[in-house]
Amino acid sequence: MAYETIIVEIEDHVATIKLNRPDAMNALNSHLLGELSEALAEADKNDKVRCIIITGSAKAFAAGADIKEMSEKSYVEMFLSDFFGREGNAITSTRKPIIAAVAGYALGGGCELAMMCDFIIAADNAKFGQPEINLGVMPGLGGTQRLTRFIGKSKAMDMNLTGRFMDAEEAERAGLVSRVVPAKQLMEETRSAAEKIAEKSMISAIACKESVNRAYETTLSEGLLFERRLFHALFATDDQSEGMAAFAEKRTAQFRDR
């Protein structure tokens, strides 16, 4: 499928989706988010794909929602179109694991998109922020919700109210990103993580993803029950027998998603 604002490459079970609006710091307009939603749905359906990477350029993962597209919108237009609601849901309903590889600016909707992925690997030049307050608005894709759950109230308030940027080191300390790597090695390190995930049983990987995400939606006791039931259910798979047999036989497991 030919896209105009993203580039999709599939190699060795990993689909890499590169945001590609270089003249606008990868600002997220409706067209790009529509294409991203389609590409994610395609990757989810494609049996060859076992892990997905979303990335941007060396300068910008994405500098936010497209301010030029939004500037003339009225309340009624935003409300009736449920601006970016459908696209946000399309991204977070992707079942396969998604890694955000972030270099440069991840601001506003860009930071929010990275947080919709399953984890973030940051280049040492990455800068995260929710500067919407400087535009007389506020975040609309998770900047007050996911960010607060990830880094806690105090830092989330600081980011949202001052609009300041957080560098990669602070983002790792705060728990927003899983690891920081030298900018030049960002794609290599992210691909290596994606390839590791691609080797696992897709059934276990999807179950892990659903279970971690459930932690954000429910109480501890309900979450633990959900986790335990999924854990039990995995004993109905051939991959459980294979994984445990491979351990006993001191060989690498060959998972077949059954």
- Catalytic sites, residue numbers: 65, 109, 112, 132
Contact track, ligand CAA, 62-81, x by CB under 6 A: -xxxxxx-------------
Residues touching ligand CAA, count (CB under 6 A): 22
Instruction: Give burial (CB, 10 Å; 0-12/13-18/19+) of 236.
Output: exposed
Contact in structure between 8 and 20 (CB atoms under 8 Å): no
The yes or no reply on residue 139 touching ligand CAA (CB under 6 A) is yes
Distance, in Å, from the CA atom of 162 to the CA atom of 111, rounded to the nearest integer, reads 15
From candidates 35, 87, 118, 132, binder to ligand CAA by CB under 6 A: 132
The yes or no reply on residue 106 touching ligand CAA (CB under 6 A) is no
Contact track, ligand CAA, 110-129, x by CB under 6 A: --x-----------------
Q: Which span (4-12, 105-113, 115-123, 221-229) binds ligand CAA, by CB under 6 A?
A: 105-113
Give me the half-sphere count of Cα atoms (radius 13 Å) on the Cβ side of residue 80. Answer: 5
Q: What is the 3-state secondary structure (H, E, C) of 192-224?
A: HHHHHHHCCCHHHHHHHHHHHHHCCCCCHHHHH
From candidates 15, 16, 109, 128, binder to ligand CAA by CB under 6 A: 109
| CB nearer ligand CAA, residue 56 or residue 109 | 109
Positions in 14-33 near ligand CAA (CB under 6 A): 24-25, 27
Instruction: Give burial (CB, 10 Å; 0-12/13-18/19+) of 23.
Output: exposed
Region of 140 on the Ramachandran plot (φ > 0 left; ψ -120 to 50 alpha; else beta): alpha
| CB nearer ligand CAA, residue 24 or residue 205 | 24
Closest distance to ligand CAA from the beta carbon of 255 (Å):
38
Give Cβ neighbours of residue 242 (< 8 Å, ≥ 6 apart): 253, 254, 255, 256
The yes or no reply on residue 51 touching ligand CAA (CB under 6 A) is no
The Cα diameter of the chain in Å comes to: 65
Closest distance to ligand CAA from the beta carbon of 85 (Å):
11
The structure tokens 């109905």 sit at: 236
The yes or no reply on residue 230 touching ligand CAA (CB under 6 A) is no
From candidates 32, 91, 106, 107, binder to ligand CAA by CB under 6 A: 107
The yes or no reply on residue 97 touching ligand CAA (CB under 6 A) is no
Closest distance to ligand CAA from the beta carbon of 82 (Å):
12
At residue 252, the 3 state secondary structure works out as: coil
The yes or no reply on residue 168 touching ligand CAA (CB under 6 A) is no
DSSP assignment of 117-137 equals SSEEEEETT-EEE-GGGGGTS
Positions that interact with ligand CAA (CB under 6 A): 24-25, 27, 63-68, 84, 105, 107-109, 112, 131-132, 135, 139-141, 143
